[in-house]
Amino acid sequence: MSAILECKSLTKKFTTLTALSNVNLTLERGRIIGLLGPNGSGKTTMIKLINGLLVPTSGTILVDGKAPGTDTKKIVSYLPEKTYLPDWMKISDTIEFFHDFYPDFDSKRANEMLDRLHLDASRRMKTLSKGTKEKVQLILVMSRNADLYCLDEPIGGVDPAARDYILNTIISNYNENATVLISTHLIADIEKVLDEVVFIKDGTVTLHSSVEDIRTKEGKSVDTLFREVFKC
């Protein structure tokens, strides 16, 4: 089985800046990986490339051995940093939408999670607060049985109590062959769930290591290391 994600000399340039430069990165299956870096370091560009929302300037990116396209979109579950659900939809409409388009979507699981967070499926998206919308999106994304979950800043906008619930959701909902890629700069909150970290700075990967190794070799937490590496 090929690696779930493989980047070779991956470069993405925009007219005025180079967002990613010569990235070589291989992510294995069955890990929870933090994609960590300061604002504007290229985290979102990376995730958009994985999801085919951007096309590389040069180099290759392979998801399950294939270039991003219809086939890879079937196995990648993506949570963007945007509230991307149409505001006229009811929560129940969004569940039907995901059910129609993603064969791996588990409606039962989604409804159970809605119940647990006391969210009424007949509410319209536009009547929900920003944090609640994010919860709904996360529930939809985590209710898929995907091979790769890409979560872009999944905990930025929600309160700490919901944050814990969401992290538990992430850990408990993915199967052992799936990989979860979480981009964030709120490291302390998610450090305890991570198996590996990828540090990204100015469009280059500066570190790819297991959390275990960082703790034993460097003798510090990921959060401390991050603060040192990215010291302003």
Contacts with another protein, residue ranges (CB under 8 A): 48, 51-55, 70-71, 73-74, 76, 78, 80, 82-86, 88, 93, 97, 100-102
Torsional sign, CA 210, 211, 216, 218: positive
Smallest distance from another protein to CB 180, Å: 16
Of 80 and 191, which has the nearer Cβ to another protein?
A: 80
Q: Which is nearer to another protein, 77 or 179 (CB)?
A: 77
CB of residue 195 vs another protein: minimum separation in angstroms? 25
For another protein, which is the closer residue by CB, 88 or 231? 88
CA distance 179 to 149: 6
What does residue 54 show for φ and ψ, rounded to 5 degrees? -135, 155
Q: The tokens of 191 are what?
A: 């450090």
Q: What is the DSSP letter of 117?
A: T
In the complex, least distance from residue 86 CB atom to another protein, rounded to whole angstroms: 6
Q: Which is nearer to another protein, 50 or 155 (CB)?
A: 50
Q: Which residues contact 61 (CB under 8 A, 6 or more apart)?
A: 5, 6, 7, 8, 10, 49, 50, 67, 68
Residue 55 CA to residue 48 CA, distance in Å, equals: 9
Q: How many CA atoms lie within 13 A of 188 on its CB side?
A: 3
In the complex, minimum distance from the CB of residue 82 to another protein, in angstroms, rounded to a whole number: 4
* Residue 1: CB minimum distance to another protein, A: 21
Between 75 and 170, name the residue whose CB sits nearer to another protein: 75
Query: How far is residue 1's CA from residue 168's CA, in Å, rounded to a whole number?
Result: 28
